Amino acid sequence: MTIQLRVCNVLLQWTKKYPADFLPAPRVSPTSNRTSSPTRPSPSTGEVPDDVWFLKQVFAFVEGVLAEDHGSMARQIRRNLVRKREVASHLRHLPVLPVAKIPSDASPDQQTSISVFKYPADEIARQLTLIDFDLFARILPSELLNQSWTKGDAHTRARGVIALTKRFNAVACWTAKCVLEKPTPRARAKRLTRMIEIASQLLALNNFSTLMAIIAGLNKAAVHRLKLTFKELSSRSRQKLTDLERIMSAEASYKNYRTYLKSSIPPCLPYIGVYLLDLTYMEDGNPNTLGLRINFTKREMISSVIRGIVHLQSTPYDGIKPADGLLQLLASLPDATEQVEKVLWEESKRLE
């Protein structure tokens, strides 16, 4: 009986503290470019995704064996499971963001015609935050184990991390392209000022992820070398940019950023790169075992980082409402590729 109670308590705490383990993984049909989950044979349908099979097994155990011997605890566990299943159902019915992409080879005039800059900086920042937080919230704890995002099968093992990283690079390239599409130094300085205003608004929203992406875009060689453009930038904008770069600086292992993040009140969108860096150091710098024993200190350190991420995922930006036209434009940014980087560099040299 004591062993049964311990097992029940483990299951209760598991469903309560680690709900992501009980949410179905994202999946897609072969015709859509979305990802799918591993499957196992089923007498009725032929195949059942592993996560669905797991949930069915848990429900069967809770409503069968557990309900007979420990009814009160079974009801608590079932409530936890039902609540998580309702959340998963809600996520599945959320509208998919539009993905009609702006051609990466579009001319500056074409890109200007599709510009997002008729909207104010604070609204652009809000919509960027909605899009990027959605990607952040879909990262599963299992993706952060054993440096899954660095493996050859990362697109299967760490879908969420890869998606957010891909988005980060797309925003950085878009930032550089927005500056370079303007024909004169003064016009580019004006656009640069708008990007700095957007970055400031992102900081006000505690969106460090997209903030870092915009700073990365402004520090690309194709933009950073534009001396005539930066000469036209006002001292106020220049100081704002310096302050933002200081906050997100990698100096002293991102000391300023870590301090700022720690004092921030959720909702908050952290820069995932720092977490991945910490996890990498923890994995590489500590052995899995100490003699014949598991190195639990290492596991506790890794668990602490993952818990921090899960905590921030649990508080969404409910106060931000989608602005359909702008959301569509910002959700449709072209992917960052070597060809795009080459085009940006050539355009930069042509301009100055």
pLDDT digits (tens, 9 = 90+) for 292-314: 999 999 999 999 999 999 999 98
Q: In this model, does residue 171 exceed pLDDT 60?
A: yes
Indicate the fold that domain 108-351 takes in CATH: Son of Sevenless (SoS) protein; Chain S, domain 2 (1.10.840)
Q: Which residues pair with 290 in a beta bridge?
A: 293
pLDDT digits (tens, 9 = 90+) for 199-230: 999 999 999 999 999 999 999 999 999 999 99
The tokens describing 301, both together, are 């350190």
Say how far apart CA 110 and CA 88 lie, in whole Å: 40
Q: In this model, does residue 94 exceed pLDDT 50?
A: no
- Supply the pLDDT for residue 8: 81
Say how far apart CA 100 and CA 173 lie, in whole Å: 17
Angle formed at CA 248 by CA 246 and CA 250, multiple of 5 degrees = 95
Closest by Cα among 51, 277, 25, 35 to 138: 25
- Supply the pLDDT for residue 103: 43
Region(s) of the chain under CATH 1.10.840.10: 108-351
The tokens describing 122, both together, are 């604070």
- Supply the pLDDT for residue 73: 80
Residue tagged 């024909």 (tokens): 183
Q: In this model, does residue 41 exceed pLDDT 80?
A: no
How many Cβ atoms from other residues are within 10 Å of residue 166's Cβ?
13
- Supply the pLDDT for residue 211: 98
Least confident interval from 80-84, 153-157, 221-225: 80-84
Residues 209 and 161 sit within 8 Å (Cβ to Cβ) = no
Alpha helices, DSSP H, located in the chain:
2-17, 50-61, 67-69, 71-92, 108-113, 121-137, 154-157, 159-180, 185-204, 208-218, 221-224, 227-231, 235-247, 251-263, 272-285, 296-313, 324-331, 338-351
- Supply the pLDDT for residue 261: 97
**SS3 of 339, please?**
helix
Say how far apart CA 201 and CA 195 lie, in whole Å: 10
Ranges of beta strands (E only) in 258-308 are 289-290, 293-294
Least confident interval from 89-103, 144-158, 184-198, 282-296: 89-103
Least confident interval from 20-34, 52-66, 206-220, 334-348: 20-34
Rounded mean pLDDT of 122-146? 94
Angle formed at CA 26 by CA 23 and CA 31, multiple of 5 degrees = 155
| Average pLDDT over all residues of the chain | 84
Residues 167 and 138 sit within 8 Å (Cβ to Cβ) = no
Residues 271 and 212 sit within 8 Å (Cβ to Cβ) = yes
Q: In this model, does residue 263 exceed pLDDT 60?
A: yes
- Supply the pLDDT for residue 47: 54
What are phi and psi for residue 281, nearest 5 degrees?
-65, -40
